[in-house]
Amino acid sequence: MDKRILHVWQPVTCLEKANVIFAKLTYGNSNETNGLRLELTDGAGNAVEIVYDQWSVTMVDYIWTFRHVNEIKRCDLNRLIDRADFSVLNDSTAQHFYKMENSDFLEWYDQLPWLGSGDVPHVEHHIYMYNDGVFEVIADYEPKFIVKKAGS
């Protein structure tokens, strides 16, 4: 039985649902880029920059890990999406994200040497979907969201 649970998460409402057509990921530790930054842009030109820039003393990095997968390969999420509670949405016409409970990604990560989710119980698996793929991040804090409205 699949124990994974998706929790609907909508920290911003600036992106049009099912119309996020562009994604840009940067990761680094320099004057120009600190941490992981994911920018998602919808068809109208509205964008949100998702910023993981808090230094994790536990992991000695900004995030634990991340991955990108083609949306077709992550069709396994469809069953979980069907069971998710969408009543928590602030705006049903806006894009939303997910947090995964009983995460298989985190379970995989816990098999690696050194610290894991048993040592840091508040770690989270964040999922960001767009038209061409799925970005997933494991971190021990929520990122910042910077809204960039089209034309501003």
pLDDT tens digits for 96-111? 999 999 999 999 999 9
Q: Do residues 107 and 101 make contact, with C-beta atoms less than 8 angstroms apart? A: no
Instruction: Note if the pTM is more than 0.85.
Output: yes
35: nearest Cα among 140, 127, 112: 140
Grade residue 78 by pLDDT with cuts at 50, 70 and 90: very high
95: nearest Cα among 22, 42, 150, 39: 42
